[in-house]
Amino acid sequence: MKRTIDIIPSFTFRIIAAILLVILMFVLFILNLKSGVVNLGISELFGILTNESISDSALSIVVLKIRFPQAITALMAGWGLAAGGLLMQTLFRNPLADPSILGISSGASLGVAILILISGSLFPGFLSGDISANVAITIAAFIGAAMVLVLISLFATKLRNPVNLLVFGIMIGFLSYAVVDILKFYASKDALQKYVLWGMATFAEVDNRQLQVFLISGFIGIVFALLLVKPLNALLLGEDYAANLGHKVKHIRIIIILVAGFLTAVITAFCGPVAFVGLAVPHLARLLFATSDHRQILPFSILIGGNLTLFVNLIIRLPVFGGNLPVNAITALLGAPVVIYFILKTKF
């Protein structure tokens, strides 16, 4: 595709786009609080938020204890997944790279599978308590993700060819799913159901207490990602050029893998393996702003990612769907066409 005239999105366009995205974020956030199986009016919602009318304590609990943490979780997951996806795509110079493809999500899945399927089958009462179960799942997912992360970091220096590293990640994914399948075969019905539910991904499992941990870890990951914009830009030219520009490519590779992996591990631990957000959002941002400059594309990807997951969270809780559609059903519907479009468009 040859473009003879390139329209540069002007500075004003970018400012307006940023403001619109932030406004959209607030609107989506309010909509997330206000709608669901029970729809609230704006005045009712503000009454609850400002703690003035405690007329209906049940509604207040729904908004503050369920919808609020769910919306915040969705927002942070979108931010982090988009940032992690962009980091991976630049590092591997591959438009289809994202943390889930590297096997980090599957590592987390394996950790959770081992926990739920084994302990859930052996000691049926073990995972019944809500809080202890969530904490345990979080820790298991994090350990699983971290193990894959360590593996990848160990081999990152040996697998210098980005394609090899990508294949390595995909194979790790196959290996962990193979183990999961074997575990599933022996697991009890209850444990299996619990694992399948986790695997469909949800923003609803993070309560207000866990939210703090989730937000802090997510923010740390995003801040580190934002600090990497200069080396990320250099990597657009390939590792040799980046090195010639004075960047310590070996270190940067490892740092990028750690940051993207950390973001994925945290989000997968708290929300399950959310698919397609990390893959599709950076492409949307590049399309919209017609640039690859990470100083623009990274913040915009983060903004778009948050808006996307808030929108998804709004859709999945629509009363039409019984208020509880799996996250991945919608992200795949939105994300897969974007990926297909890119495969068809890109000259490999």
8 Å CB contact between 108 and 265: yes
246 binds other proteins (CB under 8 A): yes
Checking phi first, is residue 274 left (phi over 0); if not, alpha (psi -120 to 50) or beta? Answer: beta
Q: Tell me, what DSSP letter sits at residue 187?
A: S
Instruction: Supply the minimum distance, in Å, between the C-beta of residue 200 and other proteins.
Output: 33
Q: Look up tokens 């609107």; give the residue.
A: 27
8 Å CB contact between 115 and 276: no
Considering only 39, 293, 319, 343, the residue that binds other proteins (CB under 8 A) is 293
Binding residues for other proteins restricted to 221-240, rule: CB under 8 A: 227, 229-230, 233-234, 236-238, 240
Binding residues for other proteins restricted to 100-159, rule: CB under 8 A: none
208 backbone dihedrals φ, ψ, rounded to 5°:
-60, -30
255 binds other proteins (CB under 8 A): no
Instruction: Supply the minimum distance, in Å, between the C-beta of residue 19 and other proteins.
Output: 21
Instruction: Supply the minimum distance, in Å, between the C-beta of residue 281 and other proteins.
Output: 15
92 to 111: interface string for other proteins, x by CB under 8 A = -x-x----------------
Q: Give the nearer residue to other proteins in terms of CB position, either 160 or 209.
A: 160
8 Å CB contact between 22 and 303: yes
Rounded Cα gap, residues 125 and 115, in angstroms: 13
What percent of the chain is helix, strand and coil (3-state, nearest 5)?
A: 75, 0, 25
Instruction: Supply the minimum distance, in Å, between the C-beta of residue 86 and other proteins.
Output: 13
Considering only 243, 258, 315, 336, the residue that binds other proteins (CB under 8 A) is 243
Instruction: Supply the minimum distance, in Å, between the C-beta of residue 331 and other proteins.
Output: 23
181 binds other proteins (CB under 8 A): no
CA proximity to 278, closest of 227, 345, 220, 339: 339
Instruction: Supply the minimum distance, in Å, between the C-beta of residue 286 and other proteins.
Output: 5
Q: Give the nearer residue to other proteins in terms of CB position, either 188 or 244.
A: 244
Rounded Cα gap, residues 16 and 11, in angstroms: 9
Interface with other proteins (CB under 8 A), residue total 29
Rounded Cα gap, residues 303 and 266, in angstroms: 19
328 binds other proteins (CB under 8 A): no
8 Å CB contact between 1 and 345: yes
8 Å CB contact between 328 and 200: yes
Tell me which residues touch other proteins (CB under 8 A): 2-3, 6, 8, 93, 95, 227, 229-230, 233-234, 236-238, 240-241, 243-248, 286, 290-293, 295, 346
